[in-house]
Amino acid sequence: MVKGPSLLLAKWFPISQFKKILVFILKGEGIRLFKKGITLFLTLILLLASITPVLADSQKKGNARIVRDNYGVPHIYANNVEDLYFTYGYVMAQDRLFQLETFRRGNNGTIAEVFGEKFLARDQQMRRDGYTDQEVQEMITNMDNFSKKVIRNFADGISLYVEEALKNPDERLSKEFHDYKVTPKEWTEVDVLRLFMSSMGVFMDSEQEIKNAQILAQLEKQFGKETAKEMFDDIFWENDPASPSTLPDEGAVNPVKKDTKKAANQQFPGIEGASETLSEKRDDFVSTSEELGLPLKIGSNAVVIGPEKSATGNALLMGGPQYNFSAPGSVYEVGLHAPGFDIEGSGLIGMPIIMFGTKENYAFTSTYGVGNLVDIFVETLNPENPHQYLYKGKWVDMKKKVETFQYRDSNGELKEETKEFYSTVHGPVTVIDEKNNTAYSKAWSFRGTEAQSWSAYLKSNWAETMKEFHEEAKDMTMSINWYYADKEGNIGHFYTGKYPIRDERVDLRLPTPGTGEYEWKGFIDPKKHPYGINPNTGYIVNWNNRPASNWGNGELSFMWGEDHRVQQFIDLVNGKDKLTIDDIDDINYHASYVNLRTKKFKPMLMEALEKANNPKYQEVYQALEDWNNLNEDNDKDGLFDSPAVSIFEAWWPLVVDNLYQEKLGEAYGPLKGIIDHRYGSSLTLRVLGGSNGPLETQYQWLNEDPDQVMLAALDQALQKLEDEHQSEDISQWLKPARMMVFTNTSLIGLPQYGSEIKFLEANRGSENHYIELTKNGPIGENVNPPGQIGFISKDGTLHKHYDDQIELFANWKYKPVLFTKQDVNKNAVSTTVLKIKK
């Protein structure tokens, strides 16, 4: 219910007070005071006229002021915690209700009811692996009172907007609700916590152990056990000492050392078929999640600079969370202000948690930790009963749950399907292979602790000191890197997660026998997790590399090698004695557009060209030397600026194919993306002799001069480019610049309601924030494309803040972080009062 400004004026400015001012003016205080009084009074009227109060039908008390800045970002001012988070839920729903509805359905397994049968398998997996409403509610009941208060009020705030929107759907429900005939429902605490549990759980999920076992079985079939083991160990090394760490040895407190002793039999019949089944399911899950705009591919980078490396002497912090480039974006920006509490930043949609932001005394950000939190257990089934498994010498019944799903068929009719799911002591069963009397169950180390992690993340926002911030990190059970910088000049890195103490006889790269002999033996004490405070280097950088030396990540070991993308940040930070925010932005720009393989392999190619001393290579050498390794289009002609981009990008895949395709045969297909991973290609570095680390290959991958391999691939690439461009003139070999958009398809493949603005492809955070911690408080800038408000009117009109940050993002421009009340008011465009009735 909206009241006009005159009614609000009557309440805030009673007639009796108006009479007092009028009497004061008429008593003869002079023309100057008369004019001053009238001016002040008129100013007050204009100010109040710009405030639109909203009367909330709620049992809560108090009110909150919502100030929207010139990019639509809400800055909420409340008198207590309840009103603050209630209003936070309300404004998030106001801006992103359809996205919230999609996230909720996507995470509770009801999305097929809206978007059809193609999403049924995804719904089934979410409910197979998820919790019942009762189980989630029990976790909430066991939360501390502060967390319960926040989660309840946040859900109630969303529900209030839903209630109001249903009374006026044509004006308050975004176009998607009308098009897909979706009616939003009120939110509960269960919805809020489940969204966190499911979303974060999906981020942490991994089935790589089964893929690794399939690959090992395939290699053994092709080459025999001995050769297969050599190949496997080269591709999935357990620890690469040359792999860059966020914390140097002298700054890594208590790095965990692993015993590599192994004796368990981890060869399982039928593993190849099980892996193929799971791979198909995983591919479907990923593709349908991406269509829904649900974030799956996360990376993120961070740079934290201490005073000794800062040009101003102040600590500096940059974060670049890498979520999907979707419209609306995956993160939501807000300013939260209550007595004794001020914070500004952004977090994943549907969570009342700031994950990337700043307070008065410190700033913080985070990246994915790539930690080993998931194990696949292979269960031995009873030949007489496929729903019994062998555990500690006894046949044990699997637990069964039955779920009913609704989905829309191709005719739009609502259908229903019931499905049974099973679980063991280890977790949900993903595949039952009756032919081989085996089943595969998945164990998450953090299962059952998600509410604890939710609370830890929330309370980290309320920490006052680095010590308090670190204490909350110890309670976070999912694999995240947390970063901290304060105005006193302290910087810190804290690695979070609940890491099992696994049996020493188990090869962590492969599934674990589930018969009971190889169970987890507890969890590593959070006090022993890698962390660093004020490291001697004077900085902290991370791009999903390992946190500290000797910290492994099991089946994902191939992601942490000597050739790692984080080296771009390390080298560029080391390249300057002192850095400013602008310097960090330049470094981020470079890392976003650089061809990552140029770091290690371009110098090797150029050295081979020099040694060849062949005139035909001189022009190629010069093009490579002139190239800054960046895929840029500075003249905006739709082509990359340097022909070296074409040459290098044609050359590199041929190097990889020529090295491994013939050697690996059938196994090459599933291995190509592992050997040439988006984080790096460390095996190739060792094979070509470019490694400076102690790790050596066991298998003889190369029987010829590495230079000849690189030059042969170059000859192939040059011929290909000459044929393609029908010219020997290298300067004409300019490649079309790859462009990106913030999703150009809708949830179900229809044209996206949103911006079609294209921008140059970049390996960059989908949001960026830069903060300097001065003695007087934080100053900074950020960009959160495509825009703050994901609302589309029923007639298809986009909200003005739907995509108004794309141009900023594309041109590497930013908006100021508005932290103080003065800055917020200076940039205020509108103010509303959410007045909450008793």
pLDDT of 43 strictly over 60: no
Helices 208-223 and 271-292: crossing angle in degrees, nearest 10, is 140
pTM: 0.90
Long-range contacts of residues 353-356, Cβ cutoff 8 Å, at least 24 apart: 353/196, 353/454, 353/457, 353/458, 353/461, 354/461, 355/321, 355/331, 355/457, 356/319, 356/321, 356/331, 356/767, 356/769
The dihedrals phi and psi of 20, each to the nearest 5 degrees, come to: -60, -45
Q: Please give the pLDDT value at position 458.
A: 98
Q: Please give the pLDDT value at position 288.
A: 62
Q: CATH fold of 605-629+632-737, please? A: 1.10.1400
How many Å apart are CA 30 and CA 736, to the nearest integer? 74
- H-type alpha helices, 205-270: 208-223, 225-235
Is 375 within any annotated ligand binding site?
yes
Token pair for 400: 């069964």
Is 374 within any annotated ligand binding site?
yes
**763: Cα separation from own chain's centroid:** 13
Q: Please give the pLDDT value at position 170.
A: 97
How many Å apart are CA 233 and CA 229, to the nearest integer? 6
Query: CATH homologous superfamily for 50-205+237-595+828-838?
Result: Aminohydrolase, N-terminal nucleophile (Ntn) domain (3.60.20.10)
Q: How many CB atoms lie within 10 A of CB 810?
A: 17
pLDDT of 550 strictly over 90: no
Token pair for 172: 């308050």
Nearest to 52 by CA among 826, 825, 833, 828: 833
Which of 89-93, 100-104, 565-569 has the lowest average pLDDT?
100-104
Beta bridge partners of 798: 792
Higher pLDDT, 313 or 281: 313
How many Å apart are CA 241 and CA 257, to the nearest integer? 12
Set 58, 275, 289, 300: catalytic member? 300
Band of pLDDT at residue 711, cut at 50, 70 and 90: very high
Q: Please give the pLDDT value at position 290.
A: 58
Which of 305-309, 753-757, 804-808, 814-818 has the lowest average pLDDT?
753-757
Average pLDDT over residues 466-485: 97
Residues 466, 468, 469, 475, CA torsion sign: positive
Q: Are 418 and 403 in contact (CB under 8 A)?
A: yes
Contacts of residue 616, Cβ cutoff 8 Å, sequence gap at least 6: none
Angle at 407 between CA 404 and CA 413, to 5 degrees: 125
Q: Please give the pLDDT value at position 299.
A: 75
Going by their DSSP bridges, the two strands 62-69 and 828-836 should be labelled as: antiparallel
Q: How many CB atoms lie within 10 A of CB 753?
A: 18
Band of pLDDT at residue 253, cut at 50, 70 and 90: low
The dihedrals phi and psi of 674, each to the nearest 5 degrees, come to: -90, -45
pLDDT, tens digit (0-9, with 9 covering 90-100), for 572-595: 999 999 999 999 999 999 999 999
Q: Coil, helix or strand for 630?
A: strand
- Can the peptide bond before residue 328 be classed as cis, meaning omega within 30 degrees of 0? yes
Beta bridge partners of 331: 348
Secondary element (H or E) of residue 775? none
Angle at 602 between CA 599 and CA 606, to 5 degrees: 145
Higher pLDDT, 38 or 444: 444
Q: Please give the pLDDT value at position 252.
A: 61
How many Å apart are CA 30 and CA 33, to the nearest integer? 6
**CA–CA distance from 140 to each of 178, 188, 278, 323 (Å)?**
33, 11, 32, 28
Percentage of the chain lying above the pLDDT 70 cut: 87
pLDDT, tens digit (0-9, with 9 covering 90-100), for 670-708: 999 999 999 999 999 999 999 999 999 999 999 999 999
Nearest to 357 by CA among 771, 809, 825: 771
Q: Are 568 and 679 in contact (CB under 8 A)?
A: no
Higher pLDDT, 259 or 757: 757
Token pair for 659: 């090295």
How many Å apart are CA 785 and CA 757, to the nearest integer? 11
Which of 270-274, 321-325, 759-763 has the lowest average pLDDT?
270-274
Q: Are 763 and 802 in contact (CB under 8 A)?
A: no
Q: Please give the pLDDT value at position 18.
A: 35
Q: What is the mean pLDDT of the chain?
A: 89
How many Å apart are CA 214 and CA 816, to the nearest integer? 51
How many Å apart are CA 139 and CA 694, to the nearest integer? 47
Please count the helices (runs of H) and the strands (runs of E) in the chain.
26, 29
Q: Please give the pLDDT value at position 269.
A: 84
pLDDT, tens digit (0-9, with 9 covering 90-100), for 490-532: 999 999 999 999 999 999 999 999 999 999 999 999 999 999 9
Amino acid at 652: W
Long-range contacts of residues 728-732, Cβ cutoff 8 Å, at least 24 apart: 730/619, 730/620, 730/623, 730/643, 730/647, 731/643, 732/643
How many Å apart are CA 419 and CA 128, to the nearest integer? 9
How many Å apart are CA 400 and CA 748, to the nearest integer? 32
| CA end-to-end distance (rounded Å), the chain | 15
Secondary element (H or E) of residue 197? helix 189-204
Label each residue of 462-526 as H, E or C: CCCCHHHHHHHHHHCCCCEEEEEEECCCCEEEEECCCCECCCCCCCCCCCEECCCCCCCCCECCH
Token pair for 442: 């998945």
- H-type alpha helices, 542-677: 567-574, 581-593, 598-612, 618-626, 643-664, 668-675
Helices 15-26 and 31-49: crossing angle in degrees, nearest 10, is 160
Domain locations in the chain? 50-205+237-595+828-838, 605-629+632-737, 766-822
How many Å apart are CA 695 and CA 692, to the nearest integer? 9
pLDDT of 283 strictly over 70: no
Residues 118, 121, 127, 130, CA torsion sign: negative
Q: Are 294 and 199 in contact (CB under 8 A)?
A: yes
Which of 209-223, 268-282, 365-379, 659-673 has the lowest average pLDDT?
268-282
pLDDT of 637 strictly over 60: yes
Q: Please give the pLDDT value at position 267.
A: 84
Band of pLDDT at residue 4, cut at 50, 70 and 90: very low
Token pair for 39: 């001016």
Angle at 290 between CA 114 and CA 90, to 5 degrees: 65
| Max mean pLDDT range (242-251, 276-285, 543-552, 737-746) | 543-552
Q: Please give the pLDDT value at position 249.
A: 72
How many Å apart are CA 30 and CA 420, to the nearest integer? 86
Angle at 729 between CA 725 and CA 731, to 5 degrees: 90
The dihedrals phi and psi of 536, each to the nearest 5 degrees, come to: -65, -25
Q: Are 349 and 92 in contact (CB under 8 A)?
A: yes
Long-range contacts of residues 481-484, Cβ cutoff 8 Å, at least 24 apart: 481/246, 481/302, 481/366, 481/367, 481/368, 481/369, 481/542, 481/547, 482/364, 482/366, 483/302, 483/304, 483/317, 483/319, 483/364, 483/365, 483/366, 483/367, 483/540, 483/542, 484/304, 484/362, 484/363, 484/364
How many Å apart are CA 346 and CA 331, to the nearest integer? 6
Q: Please give the pLDDT value at position 559.
A: 95
Band of pLDDT at residue 271, cut at 50, 70 and 90: confident
pLDDT, tens digit (0-9, with 9 covering 90-100), for 403-458: 999 999 988 899 999 999 999 999 999 999 999 999 999 999 999 999 999 999 99
pLDDT, tens digit (0-9, with 9 covering 90-100), for 590-602: 999 999 999 999 9
Angle at 151 between CA 106 and CA 529, to 5 degrees: 85
Q: Please give the pLDDT value at position 199.
A: 76
Q: Is 731 a catalytic residue?
A: no
Q: Please give the pLDDT value at position 753.
A: 59
Is 645 within any annotated ligand binding site?
no
pLDDT of 153 strictly over 90: yes
The dihedrals phi and psi of 337, each to the nearest 5 degrees, come to: -140, 125
Q: Are 679 and 559 in contact (CB under 8 A)?
A: yes
